[in-house]
Amino acid sequence: MPVSRQELIEALERTAGGDLAAFKAVYAATSVKLYGIIVRILGRPELADEVLQEVYVRVWQRAGDFDRTNSSPITWLATIARNRALDEVRRGTMRSLEDFPELLQLPSEDNPAAGHERNEELRRLYACLDGLEPDKKEIVLLVYYHGMTREEIATRFERPVATVKTWLRRSLAQLKDCLGK
């Protein structure tokens, strides 16, 4: 259910006041995105269901922490979902690359959502990612979208973990310089 940024902000703020209808609106508007984030990182739908529940319980409990002056609502929600999913996958819950062969698929770079408020930011970010060497760009995206650890990257690219760490730090520093903020 597409809603505007302003509608989502207001729904989150009403949620902070205990408005269940507003909470349902937040869920309806954002759960497909947050579930997508979690499924990509965990790779196991049966775990993703539980994590999504925990994420929204946290949203209900902590909606008062959302500060519209500091963050966009979807960034705030996506950060909660990513952190919870990363914590879960770092527990080592029997994840292996064989569990989900689709793991290494990355989102298409074509056709970003038309009219999306953050299209311009996304284009800038991708322009900067394109400035990285192709394999470094792939690594950054694999970690972001699928929560791959340095060790998993090292295995996949057959390089030492320390090298992967160096690659990541340099790539991220380059990205920051390119974005200029």
**Segment 18-77, which members bind other proteins (CB under 8 A)?**
18, 20-21, 23-24, 27, 31-33, 35-37, 39-41, 46-50, 52-54, 56-57, 60-61, 70-72, 74-75
121 binds other proteins (CB under 8 A): yes
1 binds other proteins (CB under 8 A): no
Full 3-state SS string of the chain: CCCCHHHHHHHHHHHHCCCHHHHHHHHHHHHHHHHHHHHHHHCCHHHHHHHHHHHHHHHHHHHHHCCCCCCCHHHHHHHHHHHHHHHHHHCCCCCCHHHCHHHHCCCCCCCCCCCCCCHHHHHHHHHHHCCCCHHHHHHHHHHHHHCCCHHHHHHHHCCCHHHHHHHHHHHHHHHHHHHCC
Please, what is the minimum distance in Å from the beta carbon of residue 25 to other proteins? 10
Among 10, 131, 144, 157, the residue binding other proteins under the rule CB under 8 A is 144
149 binds other proteins (CB under 8 A): yes
4 binds other proteins (CB under 8 A): no
